[in-house]
A and B are shown apart, each in its own frame.
Chain A
């Protein structure tokens, strides 16, 4: 357990350094949903290359590390309906809110942004209630 916390802290530090790099060098906020969403709906056409390069690194590097380690498990649900419903909620929700865990959580809270803090409070509470409902009450996950 404690080793997992330390890995969490180290991995978290890497995420924070990545966000620091992207801010201080490229001048951009590292928000996963915004960077991807701008490519999907066309609002990020002006800097599509930068967005695509970020996403390419985000997919390729953990892929290579996982491959070198002999694979990595996500333990995701195999229920197609659950996967589709959750994907739709995450896609619509993060774009309506204009941010997710990285944009509102990491980049927003660290500059004491009111919107970032409020968003994080709401998605954490909703996430907790969601697990309680779908796991402990309905038993679908």
Chain B
């Protein structure tokens, strides 16, 4: 129960931050990606503002345990591979096309209208379709 309460609070703060920073406004996101048009640098401030506290947080995980017990995530994998690259490219194409990534797509669910709902349902369908695609990619890129 405690885990769920803190998860709810973290999710709420994340969502509030997305709203405050303007990341639920697709025009601002597309403005950031529009480097050949009327470029809007806001997203750089958002990313910077988010990465700084997290850089400190990662330092605080050293030789410690999470407050609610268990273990911190292991060291990140270093293998890159095709799923990472092709997935990121595909994500970027969709992100540019509408200006929504998964966090803001959920955060704007209550005020994003039918447009937001259609995007979210398509995103969920994509997430359901991804595991078999990933298996094929891994098989195709595995050394024989």
- A residues at B contact (CB < 8 Å): 4-30, 32-33, 36-37, 40-41, 43, 47, 49-63, 65-67, 71-78, 80, 82-98, 100-102, 104-111, 113-116, 118-120, 122-132, 134-136, 141
Given contacts A8-B49, A91-B130, A102-B103, contact A67 B87 (CB under 8 A): no
Contact of B87 among A73, A93, A135 (CB under 8 A): A93
Count B-side interface residues using an 8 Å CB cutoff.
Answer: 117
Q: Which residue of B lies closest to A120 (CB)?
A: B88
Return B62 CB to nearest CB of chain A, in Å: 11
Residue among B47, B71, B119 making CB contact with A83, cutoff 8 Å: B119
Q: Which of B111-127 contact A (CB under 8 A)?
A: 111-113, 115-116, 118-127
Task: Give the residue name and chain of the A residue nearest to B51 (CB).
Answer: A110
Q: Which of B22-45 contact A (CB under 8 A)?
A: 22-28, 30, 33-37, 40-45
Docked-complex contact B22 and A20, CB < 8 angstroms: no
Establish whether residues B45 and A91, one from each chain, have CB atoms under 8 Å apart when the complex forms.
Answer: no
Majority secondary structure, B binding face: helix
Which 8 pairs from chain A and chain B are nearest by CB?
Answer: A91-B126, A11-B21, A12-B49, A87-B122, A126-B92, A130-B96, A89-B94, A96-B87
**Is residue B143 contacting chain A, with contact meaning CB distance below 8 A?**
no
B23: which A residues are within 8 A, CB to CB?
A: 11
A15 engages B89 (CB within 8 Å):
no
Residues of B bordering A, CB below 8 Å: 3-28, 30, 33-37, 40-58, 60-61, 65-73, 76-80, 83-113, 115-116, 118-131, 133-134, 137
Asked if A26 and B7 make an inter-chain contact with CB atoms under 8 angstroms apart, the answer reads yes
